Structure 1
């Protein structure tokens, strides 16, 4: 039987090489794309799975629900809760704070950056990570301890034999000397610690003075728990609300507590570490999050590519089934049974699919590195997974693509076939099936194309959309640590003196992820008091000239007007004083003003602190296009009384290239703070993380669209080829009766394109629902324009026309006498 199957495949390849080649290529494309995208989906779903006992690890998030602000969940949690958690939950085996930090080592004014964490000695017990050198229990027991990854050890010293070596670390300008006490073993697979190069103990002084260690309402890092059993997650969740009420409650003047009823605005969320990768798609301060629906959509594209390959095989096999009808009739006359023939044809389908699987494996090798490059993920070909999955894929694909053709072929009746002058067509049912398959293939392809167009348009829009400030000619530096007013003035003078600088100003917020410093204000409006949570920013002279926000009403701050000077530390602490402020358009809308001008002169209050609105600017988007812009209040500071808190310098330049200006600014920075690294960047580079994920996944949809269209065109080509053969006699008669070649071509094109039209009708509502849901996740988004659908439909008809044009013209030009004689 095996030799019969092989001979049958080789005979078909000799007789009909185009059909067999299209069949093999379609299946190979489907299998290759499926395996490549399956590797990506497997990678995303395996996030954190490589950590020992990952099912017992959880992260604590904070969820805030405050008046005037959309509910917000943060991946960071207060470290102040740790002793209370250990006391109140016996299910907790251990807990650890994790403060992500960038460490630098400097030499000759050049800095080498290392990603890492500040933590405590429970780090290795919680995450179960071993050391290849050193003792885990002792590695972080001393304040000057330092654990390196193997990569960091080679990067810093060029060897792994580094125990006892000393390193001077620079953390945002603060220097400290550490002794290497261990080398971390790497953890397999993607995980939250994959990029950790250094781990050091939290400085004791920081633990004593930093607010996130002292107050419930302050957070600066993540908290992880290791539970005794995975089932304990439910028990902790059930008692977490009572835990918050019991420990975070306090009187209104208690700065440690959240308030008399913390449970009304504050919640601690328990997130299993295995679920965090998908959970974090909607969480602030989380960088590894990805939308599960997007990952599932990518997996669906891979599956649909496989389905399209199978449909293409069915179409090609049924199209040429009539060509094998006489072979089947003769074999049945000589005694072959239907079961035997069915087994042979199924064997041929499985054999061709196996060959396609080998080609698909080669395509997987080629596509996977490209997919890794497009997505930025460290996806590799895992041969254990691929070699286990490939036989299953080949068998299922072979059965799915071969069952119907084998049933049709083995069902031919010898007498009817041998007595007929023409090859059998399979009847209307077979023709309807072929049309349905082509329509289904193009429906999938057109839907993916529409989704691709919308995703590409949205990602381009996110980069180019108006953000409320002028991006061109703008460079933004790093936070200037130290809170030293004299040093801040020296920095302003040094940067202002750089040739090419047109304006310079300080602000405390910047276009990138930042901690939200909010204040609760009231407005005693005509319809009663309104409570609003407002994002706080403080800016200096030159800020307006640097960012150039649009002034909608009123005026900007004037350094000559003393009332414009913002509150100092005493004012903020005591809640006293009256000051002029500028607010954004979102604040005006939240307060209920019909126009910005109506807000000028109105007063917002925070206990005894009064803020009089003197100006309204358009919303400046410093956050992701997915997130709504927050109400914002801006105070003015001339550096006459108090320093800024970690101010961020922004520079508007002209007459010089961006690269040259950045170098000049970095040198000027180093003249004031040589110990603190700086990197002046355009706003787009600081917002890069907001765009790259959608852009990279959009590339995958583009790949899926190309593959889907290619396979769909193969199916349409097979339908056109079959129809051309079947309709030669009909066309001969039509031409003999006076039909022109153009009329014949139009008739054939209309028939060939009818399944494509049906496909477009089916694809458009599906794509509209999918993209409407996807776009709803963006606060700033493009409209779902009919243009996207029209372009996809026009493209589908154009490609389909080009696919069948050759067959159409060949048949339309055939001589009537020859066509009728051939029948």
Structure 2
């Protein structure tokens, strides 16, 4: 039987090379795309899976429900909670602080950057990570200890033999000398430690002075807990509310407490580390997570590519079935049974699928690195996974694509076939199936195309959307650490003297802000008091000229008016004084003002502190397009009385290229703070993380759309080729009766494009529902325009027309006499 199957497949390849070639190409392409996208989906779903004991690791999140703003969850938590957690929950085996930071080494005035972590001595115990060199239990026990990744060891020293070597690190301008005590063993797969190049103990001074170590509700970075058993997660969750009430409550004068009833606004949550990759889409202060629906959609595209390829094979096999009818009839006459023929034809389908699977593996090798480049993910071909999945795919695809054609072929009756003047077509049922398969193929392809167009439009919109300030000609630096007014003035003077600088200013908030603080303000409105939480910003002279926000009502700050000077730290902490302030449009609307002008002159209070609104500016979006803009209050600082704390310089320039200006500013920065590396960037570059994920995944949808259309066109081509063969006699009669070539071509095109029209009708509502749901996740988004649907539908008809045009013209131009003689 095996030799019969192989001879049958080889004979078909010789007789109908185009059909077999299209069959192989479609299946191989479908299998290759399926395997490549399956590897990407597997990569996303395996986040943190390589961490030993990950099922017992959780992150402690904070959720705030504050008046005037939407509830928000943060991936950071107060470090002040850790000793109380260990005390109250015996289920917690260990806990650690995980402070993300950046270290730099300096040589000849040039900085080399390393992504680092400040943490506790329990780091390796909690994560279960080993060391390839050094002792895990001792590596972070000494305050000057330093553990390197293998990559960092090679980058810093050029060798892995580095134990005991000393190195000076620069962290935000603070220098410290460390001794290498270990080299980390790499953790397989994507995980939250994948980019960690250096791990050091948290400095004792930092633990004594940073607010997040001292107060409830003040957070720095993640808190990681290791539980004794996975089931303990639910047990701890059930008691966290009582824990907050017990420990975070206190008098309003208690600086460490949140207030008398913290549970009303504050909640602690446990998030298993295995889930953070998808969970973090809606969580602030985390690396942007991945939308699970998007990842599932990518996996669905891979599956649909395989389904389309199988449908294409069914169409091609059905088109060839009539050509093999006489072969079946002769073999049945010679004694072959239907069962024997069914097994042979199924064997041929499985053999073709096996060959396509091998070619598909080659496509997978080609596509996977491209997909990794498009998405920015470290996706590689895992042969253990691929070789386990590929045989299953081959068998299922072979059965799916071969069963119906084998059933049709083995069911032909010898007498009817040999007595007929024409090849059998399979009847109306087979015709409906072929049309349905083509319609289904194009429906899937058109839906993917529509989704791709919407995603591309949204990602382009996110980059180009109005953010409330002028992006061109703007460069933003990094925070100037400290609160030394003399140093701040020297830095302003140094940057202002750079040729090409037209304006310079300090601010606290910036595009993609490093930190954000909020305060509660009350307004005694005509309809009763209103209380909202407002984002805090402090700006200096020149800010209006640098960012150029749109003033909607009132005026901006004036350095010549002393009353515009904002509150100092004591005023904010004690709630004293009266000051002028500017708010954004979101704040004015949240406070209940029907128009920005009605807010001018109104007074907001924060305990005893009074803020009189002198101006309203349009919302300036420094955060992700997915996140809503927060109500914001802005104070003014001339540096005459109040120093900035970690101010961020921003520069407007003209008459020079961006790269040249950035280089000049970096040099000027180095004359004031040579120990602190600088990097002046455009606003778009600082906000790059907000866009690249959606853009990269949009590329995957584009790839899926191209592959889907290509496979769908193969299916349509097969249908057109089959119809052309079957309708030669009909065309001869029509032309004999006076039909023109144009009329014949129009008739054939109408018949060929009818499944495409049905596909578009099916695809549009599905794509509309999917994209409406996806766009709802953005605060800034494009409208779901009919243009996206019209472009996709028009493109589908154009591509389909070009696909069948050759067959249509050839049949329409056939001479009637030859057509009528054709059998």
User: What TM-score bracket applies, with the shorter chain setting the length?
Assistant: over 0.9
Corresponding residue number in structure 2 for 1:327:
327
Worse-superposed segment, 253-262 or 528-537: 253-262
Total equivalences in the alignment: 823
Corresponding residue number in structure 2 for 1:434:
434
Deviation at 1:105, TM superposition (A): 1.0
1:771-802 deviations in whole A, cap 9, x for unaligned? 00000000000000000000000000000000
Corresponding residue number in structure 2 for 1:704:
704
Deviation at 1:822, TM superposition (A): 1.5
CA distance in 2, matches of 1:574, 1:194: 43
Corresponding residue number in structure 2 for 1:554:
554
1:197-219 deviations in whole A, cap 9, x for unaligned? 11111110110111000001100
CA distance in 2, matches of 1:444, 1:570: 63
Q: Does 1:8 align with 2:8?
A: yes
Corresponding residue number in structure 2 for 1:589:
589
SS in 2 for 1:622: coil
SS in 2 for 1:320: helix
Worse-superposed segment, 10-19 or 134-143: 134-143
1:238-296 deviations in whole A, cap 9, x for unaligned? 11111111111111211101111111111111011111111111111111511111100
1:644-695 deviations in whole A, cap 9, x for unaligned? 0100000000011111100100010000000000000000000000000000
Structure 1 runs not aligned, ≥5 long: none
CA distance in 2, matches of 1:166, 1:349: 65
1:104-134 deviations in whole A, cap 9, x for unaligned? 1112221111101000101010000111111
1:391-426 deviations in whole A, cap 9, x for unaligned? 110000000000000000000111111111111011
1:653-732 → structure 2 map (5 Å cutoff): 653-732=653-732
Corresponding residue number in structure 1 for 2:167:
167
Corresponding residue number in structure 2 for 1:637:
637
Q: Does 1:263 align with 2:263?
A: yes
Runs of 4 or more above 3 Å deviation: none
1:241-280 → structure 2 map (5 Å cutoff): 241-280=241-280
CA distance in 2, matches of 1:713, 1:513: 48
Quick check: 2:288–2:690 contact (8 Å CA) kept in 1?
no
Corresponding residue number in structure 1 for 2:66:
66
Corresponding residue number in structure 2 for 1:773:
773
Corresponding residue number in structure 1 for 2:205:
205
Quick check: 2:319–2:719 contact (8 Å CA) kept in 1?
yes
Corresponding residue number in structure 1 for 2:231:
231
1:584-603 deviations in whole A, cap 9, x for unaligned? 11011111111111111111
Deviation at 1:516, TM superposition (A): 2.2
SS in 2 for 1:694: helix
CA distance in 2, matches of 1:619, 1:251: 35
Deviation at 1:515, TM superposition (A): 2.3
Corresponding residue number in structure 2 for 1:355:
355
Corresponding residue number in structure 2 for 1:514:
514
SS in 2 for 1:136: coil
Corresponding residue number in structure 2 for 1:648:
648
Corresponding residue number in structure 1 for 2:612:
612
Deviation at 1:573, TM superposition (A): 2.1
Deviation at 1:569, TM superposition (A): 1.8
SS in 2 for 1:532: strand
Quick check: 2:288–2:689 contact (8 Å CA) kept in 1?
no
Corresponding residue number in structure 2 for 1:466:
466
CA distance in 2, matches of 1:173, 1:482: 10
Quick check: 2:539–2:636 contact (8 Å CA) kept in 1?
yes
Structure 2 runs not aligned, ≥5 long: none
SS in 1 for 2:284: coil
Q: When the two structures are superposed, what TM-score results if normalisation uses the length of structure 2?
A: 0.99
CA distance in 1, matches of 2:432, 2:665: 70
SS in 1 for 2:252: coil
Corresponding residue number in structure 2 for 1:567:
567
SS in 1 for 2:48: coil
Q: When the two structures are superposed, what TM-score results if normalisation uses the length of structure 1?
A: 0.99
Quick check: 2:511–2:683 contact (8 Å CA) kept in 1?
yes
Quick check: 1:285–1:513 contact (8 Å CA) kept in 2?
no
1:324-345 deviations in whole A, cap 9, x for unaligned? 1111111111110110000000
CA distance in 1, matches of 2:21, 2:134: 60
Quick check: 1:519–1:533 contact (8 Å CA) kept in 2?
yes
Worse-superposed segment, 281-290 or 267-276: 281-290
Corresponding residue number in structure 1 for 2:413:
413
